[in-house]
Amino acid sequence: MFAGFIKFALTAGVVLAMPSLVQSDPMPRDAELVELFRSHRDAFERLAVMGMEDAATVSHVSVEALKEESLSDGLQTLSAARRSEYVRLLSRIRTNLSMGSDGYGVCFSYWSGGTGL
């Protein structure tokens, strides 16, 4: 009886963890990140400037958050043109790229994990 419970718990754990174990968009290797940065350096630099300019009102920006009907986290304070520019630049690099900013700087991350990329 107890052994059956253990098997059930292990099986349920594996099944529940499967989506996070098998990602459709795996994290890129370091060399891929370097190439991504080099090939989109102008977009990264423009996003960094924009992030610092907007850091007083916006702390997190992503394509997904900008496309929501109900904007939050300060995104609603951005003009439609500014939001469109964020979407254009982020999508040009990678659609699952997000960025965070504060008074000290800007960091980029993927929704599938990782920070400070």
Q: Tell me the two tokens of residue 17.
A: 């963890």
**Cα 115 to Cα 18, 21, 108, distances in angstroms:** 22, 19, 6
What percent of the chain lies above the pLDDT cut of 90? 32
Residue 63 has pLDDT above 80, yes or no: yes
Residue 87 has pLDDT above 80, yes or no: yes
At residue 46, the pLDDT reads 95
Residue 80 has pLDDT above 50, yes or no: yes
pLDDT in tens, 88-116: 999 999 888 888 888 788 888 875 544 44
- What is the mean pLDDT of the segment spanning 63-90? 89
At residue 19, the pLDDT reads 47
Residue among 117, 69, 108 at smallest CA distance from 86:
108
Residue among 49, 42, 74 at smallest CA distance from 60:
74
Which residues, including other chains, have CB under 8 Å from residue 91's CB and lie 6 or more apart? 63
CA distance 52 to 59: 10
- What is the mean pLDDT of the segment spanning 35-45? 92
Beta strands 97-102 and 60-62 are antiparallel
